Amino acid sequence: MLDAQDISPPFSRRVRVPPLPDGLVWLNTGGPIELRELRGKFVLLDFWTYCCINCMHVLPELEKLEDAYPNSLVVIGVHSAKFLTEQDSRNITEAILRYGIRHPVINDHDHRVWNLFGVRAWPTLLLIDPEGYMVWGASGETTFGVIDRILRKAMPYYRARGLVDESPLRFELAANTAPRTSLRYPGKILADPRHGRLFVADSGHHRIVEATLDGELVTTIGSGRPGAVDGDFATARFKDPQGMALHGDVLLVADTGNHLIRRVDLAGGQVTTIAGTGSQDRRRPVAVRGHPRQQPLNSPWALWLHGDELFIAMAGAHQIWKMRLDGSAISPFAGNGREDIVDGPLLPPTPFRLGYASFAQPSGLASDGRWLYVADSEGSSIRAVPLAGQGTVRTVVGTAQLPAARLFTFGDADGPREQVRLQHPLGIVYYRERLYVADTYNNKIKVIDPNTGWTQTLVGTGEAGRTDDPARLDEPAGITAAAGKLLVADTNNHLVRVVDLENENKLSTLEIRGLEPPPLPTNEGSGDWLAGATEHPIEPVAVGASDGQVRFRVSLHLPAGFKLNPRAPMAYMVQISGTGPLSPAGVGQPTRVQPPATQFQFAWPVAEQQGKQTVLVGVNFYYCREGSEGVCKVGSVAWRVPLEVHPDGPNRPVELDHRVEDRRVP
């Protein structure tokens, strides 16, 4: 084994990290966290904002890191908002839940942390070592592999010097208290007026819901568990599906989180993959045709079918793509790949060429048969693309005419084209010669004349809510139309809302009758419940059981300045070996200790008044510093007790003591 002096320092330059500013708002954890509390861990700061597609692409990479380094790496999200609505802690919490984030997040609404670290772009990652020094940083879409290589190289050096604290931590995640709902963060929605059908991308449940237009459930497509699995409706898996297009009895789905296009055979009940490799396309945008199943995609977000061609809002590439339905070819159709709002010719001969059309995270598609209308979310604009493939991209309403700050100019203003301002619109539908737009971050539905750009609010007060009167929505992301009505995926409300265009635009809520959330994953058992527990062997103990039970008393001794977290679950479990006096009822099942206590007693029934048996008693608990519940350490202890029960034995509890050692790095 190498001596500590034999391992070279992995970083040539280290900068001491200053304390975080006071008064920060912490989300997805029980309270504020000080970086010094995380000494002994690598800490990865992720500067993000929840509208940003590049930030979304980093999140699964962070999840892989959290799985690979569960006890030696802590990720902290620093949410430094771009849009006004993203400054709100409630909205950030909804994004945390929508994206399945498992680490603490700072609401850096005033960019204090951003400025402290000199950050200039979303996303940015900064790595802090176990001694509290910043050792690495990068902007852009950084992958798991990059950071994994850094950690694998650095970890032996810090471990050899005893600087790594691998005791598990626990954070009070928002998901622990989130209610279950029949829909979860529905994204896109698609009406089929001819057959009276409605399709909802139940994005947070990773499935598609088919219902009738009046709300009767027809079927669910997908198991409800994230993944990329073809098969029948019960076993197929999606990941954050979004846009849809209907071709007869075939539903085409933008499987956004998997970077795939899926084909749903509604009559045959089968899901197949027709485009994408399952990996994100991280290359420069290409301009050549490729085979759909061999071409990586980059967050396809919305679909539109025109004849035998499927148009795709490729949000991650900032382009519009086109695929032939016969599966012969897929390629970019419009956009030079620059994230911007610029009008001009459709497609350059080489990527990023100036003078051509630029899009910024296109997220919604609609058409009148001549123009493909695009909800260009990051530029808060509505664009029009000639379907014939000739001519130029134009802006219906938005920021293309501005000389600068096109991606940072937004608001909530109706009226003539020149004064219209939107805020991150995600959904659009063309209906009765008008464009209806889900103006997502303004919590409104707006109607736009596609020829003149005149815009007015149709539904919504601008305030987030879930009331029908007054009409309040919460970040609506999808919109469709049928039979004189608009149907809206009201994302943060987990609802489908209906706007009656023929009845004073009244808003109502459509209940999908018979729809239930997917079943929770089954408990695979408690075999690993005490994995990693500190085990104490106990000398043989003789006790009596005259009252038909054996009592145990557990005493935990925490380090000075620590307490049990009253909001975290504490539980004990009993396992017994072979046959003997103890009753097997309840063996192997965790039992909650309420409220959590450093000393508690429990009794276990006996089946016989005399005999010997080995008993394993385990306790899991969570403790944190006095005055702080932001960082909870995980404690797990087990006592193996050779027990002898005798009718004349002493009627006293079995004493189980454990002293918790606090492992700190200076």
Answer for the pair 314, 298: CB distance below 8 angstroms, yes or no: yes
Query: What integer is the mean pLDDT of 19-28?
Result: 96
Spatial distance between the Cα atoms of 420 and 454, rounded to a whole number of angstroms: 8
Spatial distance between the Cα atoms of 333 and 312, rounded to a whole number of angstroms: 9
**Confidence grade of residue 651 (pLDDT, cut at 50, 70, 90):** confident
- DSSP 8-state class, residue 285: P
Spatial distance between the Cα atoms of 381 and 566, rounded to a whole number of angstroms: 48
**Confidence grade of residue 522 (pLDDT, cut at 50, 70, 90):** low
Quote the Cα angle for 398-402-403, to 5°.
Answer: 155
What tens digit of pLDDT does each residue of 289-304 get? 789 999 999 999 999 9
Query: What integer is the mean pLDDT of 515-533?
Result: 72
Burial grade of 149 (CB within 10 A; 0-12, 13-18, 19 or more): exposed
Query: What integer is the mean pLDDT of 36-63?
Result: 97
**pTM, to two decimals:** 0.91
With a CB cutoff of 8 Å and minimum separation 6, the contacts of 22 are none
Answer for the pair 658, 564: CB distance below 8 angstroms, yes or no: no
Query: What integer is the mean pLDDT of 619-634?
Result: 87
- Which domains does the chain possess? 4-176 (3.40.30.10), 534-659 (2.60.40)
Query: What integer is the mean pLDDT of 252-281?
Result: 97
Query: What integer is the mean pLDDT of 325-332?
Result: 94
Answer for the pair 513, 215: CB distance below 8 angstroms, yes or no: yes
The region of weakest confidence among 19-23, 430-434, 605-609 is 605-609
- Nearest Cα neighbor of 52 from 370, 375, 378 is 378
Q: What is the pLDDT of residue 524?
A: 43
**Secondary structure of 585-654 in HEC code, one letter for each residue:** CCCCCCEECCCCCCEEEEEEEECCCCEEEEEEEEEEEEEEECCCCCCEEEEEEEEEEEEEECCCCCCCCE
The region of weakest confidence among 397-401, 404-408, 567-571 is 567-571
**Confidence grade of residue 525 (pLDDT, cut at 50, 70, 90):** very low
Answer for the pair 191, 198: CB distance below 8 angstroms, yes or no: yes
**Confidence grade of residue 664 (pLDDT, cut at 50, 70, 90):** low
**Confidence grade of residue 4 (pLDDT, cut at 50, 70, 90):** low
- Strand extents, DSSP E, 470-570: 478-482, 485-490, 495-500, 506-510, 534-537, 541-543, 549-557, 562-564
In order of 285, 378, 388, 603, the CA distances from 431 in angstroms are: 33, 24, 21, 69
Question: What is the residue-averaged pLDDT of the chain?
Answer: 94
Answer for the pair 218, 197: CB distance below 8 angstroms, yes or no: yes
| Per-residue pLDDT at 526 exceeds 50 | no
| Per-residue pLDDT at 1 exceeds 50 | no
Q: What is the pLDDT of residue 533?
A: 84
| Per-residue pLDDT at 620 exceeds 60 | yes
What tens digit of pLDDT does each residue of 550-599 get? 999 999 999 998 999 888 889 999 999 888 898 888 888 899 999 999 99
**Hey, is 246 helix, strand or coil?**
strand
145 phi, psi to nearest 5 deg: -60, -40
Spatial distance between the Cα atoms of 300 and 187, rounded to a whole number of angstroms: 13
% of the chain with per-residue pLDDT over 70:
97
Amino acid at 499: V
Q: What is the pLDDT of residue 112?
A: 98
What tens digit of pLDDT does each residue of 197-243 get? 999 999 999 999 999 999 999 999 999 999 999 999 999 999 999 99
Q: What is the pLDDT of residue 463?
A: 97
Amino acid at 406: R
Answer for the pair 351, 402: CB distance below 8 angstroms, yes or no: no
Stronger pLDDT, 198 or 626, i.e. the higher one: 198
List for the chain the helix, strand, coil content (%; round to 5): 15, 40, 45
* Angle between helix 53-68 and helix 144-160 axes, rounded to 10 deg: 40
Would you state the structure tokens that stand for residue 570, as one six-digit string?
């504490």
**Hey, is 257 helix, strand or coil?**
helix
% of the chain with per-residue pLDDT over 90:
84
Phi-psi region of 360 (alpha: psi -120 to 50; beta: other; left: phi over 0): beta
Q: What is the pLDDT of residue 6?
A: 67
**Order of strands, sheet of 330-334, starting from the edge strand that comes earlier in the sequence:** 300-306, 309-314, 319-324, 330-334
Number of neighbours of residue 215 by Cβ within 10 angstroms: 16
Spatial distance between the Cα atoms of 479 and 424, rounded to a whole number of angstroms: 14
Question: How is 134-184 classified by DSSP, letter by letter?
Answer: EEEEEES---HHHHHHHHHHHHHHHHHTT------EE---GGGTPPP-SS-
With a CB cutoff of 8 Å and minimum separation 6, the contacts of 147 are 44, 61, 65, 125, 127
Burial grade of 68 (CB within 10 A; 0-12, 13-18, 19 or more): middle
Spatial distance between the Cα atoms of 271 and 499, rounded to a whole number of angstroms: 32
| Per-residue pLDDT at 649 exceeds 90 | no
**Confidence grade of residue 126 (pLDDT, cut at 50, 70, 90):** very high
Q: Which of 4-13, 439-448, 518-527, 528-537 has the highest mean pLDDT?
A: 439-448
Spatial distance between the Cα atoms of 158 and 166, rounded to a whole number of angstroms: 12
Q: What is the pLDDT of residue 546?
A: 77
Query: What integer is the mean pLDDT of 21-48?
Result: 95
- Nearest Cα neighbor of 224 from 533, 518, 631, 647 is 518
Stronger pLDDT, 544 or 473, i.e. the higher one: 473
